[in-house]
Structure 1
Amino acid sequence: MGASTSSLPAGELDRISIESGLSKQSVLTLYKRFLQLTTHREKDSGQYFLTKEDFLNIEELRLNPLGVRIIDAFFADAEVGEREKVYFYDFVKVLSHFRPINKNKPHLWNTREAKLRFAFTMYDLNKSETITKDEFKNILQMMIGSNVSEDQVNSIADRTMREADKDNDGYITFQEFCHAMEKTDIEQKMSFHFLA
């Protein structure tokens, strides 16, 4: 599996480094991993891309209870809707959400709000811009598996909805989600320190 070694053109490396806020070395590391994962290349442009099947071939994602939700994050794009192919730029854009935040050099793709938005999409299964109790229960069940009874999962979901759904409309909006996460150090919890 994986494409043959190829180098990222210097102009592309510079552009992606600037746009993502990642160092050139981090971009090159991600490019090397991207090439290891991909088995597809556009005939016209020669660009490599990943499909959902490529992501499903990654053992860590296959074994992760939230693997499907993580994979979906790579294929969701507010600007184009659901995409079928993930090019290197798209790959970096998603992963840049996991870069530690540098308060001295703020970056649009890697703010507290961007991290919260990314986390919110993991729960918003139907992409309605809200989280329902059923969506929360589904994600909770994925995370804990059969270790907790259905009654306990329902109890946790009920309590979470009561605490987070401030206007009691049965949905958690992004604003309510942000409020519920106020005391959570999302900047650290959603950071891979190898991405600099």
Structure 2
Amino acid sequence: MGVLQSVPGHPEYADLAEKTGFSFEQISVLHKRFKQLSHNEQTLRRDHFNEIPDLSCNPIRSQIIEAFFDQRNFHQNSEGKVQEIGFEEFLVVMSHFRPPSLHMTDDQRESVRKEKLRFLFNMHDTDNDGTITLEEYRHVVEELLSHSGALGRETAKSIADAAMLEVASISMGHMEPDEFYEGITFEHFLKLLSTFEIESRMNIRFLNMDTPTLCK
């Protein structure tokens, strides 16, 4: 794992700043947060995330935690899960929540948008097969709705099924009764969220890394 044992100004900070877009100051703040969560160990495990009260109340808590251990979020063309992560991996995952710079070009902003959407897609593509299937989509919707206390599991399932069919019709156009919709590809995902402003919504106020802000 990418363990970091440096202080601000170390050359490795420069490499991480270039890779993630964080400033030296922001990397220093996140390094302190990493050490706090890991109890000064050099790696983070899933159980360390159990100590974040706000995350424990999140209906998609498991997906958020797994995103930190999903190798697709570390490097391109990587896949599979790991059991622990170093600071570099933690920082790379956190960079997906970094708000866009005001000085970005249109091309840079579009690149950031696609990176955020890819991260979001990976979070829901839990079996890493390149599609968000009905079962995966249903699981997310059921988890979200079950925490509301107003709907039962069957009602949540029906809502998820209906929503998935609507997504299928948008992605694929008219479908015959005997056709089977395999799931949402990343290309379809981009199309479905083409008008959704995710660049500034999917972010973390990392300069004030108290416990409640980590999973917002």
Give the alignment's TM-score, normalised by structure 1. Answer: 0.82
**Contact 1:161–1:170 under 8 Å retained in 2:** no
**Residue identity opposite 1:125 in structure 2:** T
Kindly indicate whether residue 155 of structure 2 is the aligned counterpart of residue 160 of structure 1. no
Q: Which has the higher contact order (CA 8 A, sep 6+)?
A: 2
How far residue 83 of structure 1 moved from its aligned partner, in angstroms, is: 1.3
Kindly indicate whether residue 168 of structure 2 is the aligned counterpart of residue 169 of structure 1. no
Kindly indicate whether residue 179 of structure 2 is the aligned counterpart of residue 185 of structure 1. no
Q: What is the CA–CA distance in structure 2 between the aligned matches of 1:100 and 1:142, rounded to whole Å?
A: 27
**Contact 1:164–1:176 under 8 Å retained in 2:** no
What's 2:176 paired with?
A: none
**Residue identity opposite 1:120 in structure 2:** F
Q: What is the CA–CA distance in structure 1 between the aligned matches of 2:162 and 2:129, rounded to whole Å?
A: 22
**Contact 2:113–2:198 under 8 Å retained in 1:** yes
SS at match of 1:112: helix
Which consecutive unaligned segments of at least 5 residues does structure 1 have? 42-47
How far residue 50 of structure 1 moved from its aligned partner, in angstroms, is: 0.4
How far residue 154 of structure 1 moved from its aligned partner, in angstroms, is: 3.0
**Contact 2:8–2:24 under 8 Å retained in 1:** no
Greater strand fraction, Structure 1 or Structure 2: 1
How far residue 29 of structure 1 moved from its aligned partner, in angstroms, is: 0.7
SS at match of 2:184: strand
Give the alignment's TM-score, normalised by structure 2. Answer: 0.75
Kindly indicate whether residue 124 of structure 2 is the aligned counterpart of residue 123 of structure 1. yes
Q: 1:12 to 1:100 in 2, by over 3 A?
A: same
Q: What is the CA–CA distance in structure 1 between the aligned matches of 2:79 and 2:159, rounded to whole Å?
A: 35
Q: What is the CA–CA distance in structure 1 between the aligned matches of 2:47 and 2:206, rounded to whole Å?
A: 26
Q: 1:154 to 1:141 in 2, by over 3 A?
A: closer
**Residue identity opposite 1:156 in structure 2:** I
Q: What is the CA–CA distance in structure 1 between the aligned matches of 2:136 and 2:79, rounded to whole Å?
A: 24
Kindly indicate whether residue 70 of structure 2 is the aligned counterpart of residue 58 of structure 1. no
**Contact 2:142–2:160 under 8 Å retained in 1:** no
Q: What is the CA–CA distance in structure 2 between the aligned matches of 1:31 and 1:107, rounded to whole Å?
A: 26
What's 2:32 paired with?
A: 32
Kindly indicate whether residue 10 of structure 2 is the aligned counterpart of residue 13 of structure 1. no
**Residue identity opposite 1:89 in structure 2:** E
Question: Once the two structures are superposed, what CA deviation does each residue of 1:72-130 show, in whole Å capped at 9, x if it has no partner?
Answer: 0000013252112111110110010111123626389x711111111112221222211
Which consecutive unaligned segments of at least 5 residues does structure 2 have? 73-77, 173-179, 208-216
SS at match of 1:99: coil
Tell me which of 149, 152, 160 is aligned to 1:149.
152
Q: 1:8 to 1:53 in 2, by over 3 A?
A: farther
What's 1:100 paired with?
A: 99
Question: Once the two structures are superposed, what CA deviation does each residue of 1:15-37 show, in whole Å capped at 9, x if it has no partner?
Answer: 11121111111111100100101
**Contact 1:8–1:28 under 8 Å retained in 2:** yes
Q: What is the CA–CA distance in structure 1 between the aligned matches of 2:51 and 2:194, rounded to whole Å?
A: 36
**Contact 1:97–1:115 under 8 Å retained in 2:** yes
**Contact 1:164–1:177 under 8 Å retained in 2:** no
SS at match of 1:148: coil
- How many percent identity over aligned positions? 31
Number of residue pairs matched by the alignment: 184
What's 1:44 paired with?
A: none
How far residue 169 of structure 1 moved from its aligned partner, in angstroms, is: 2.0
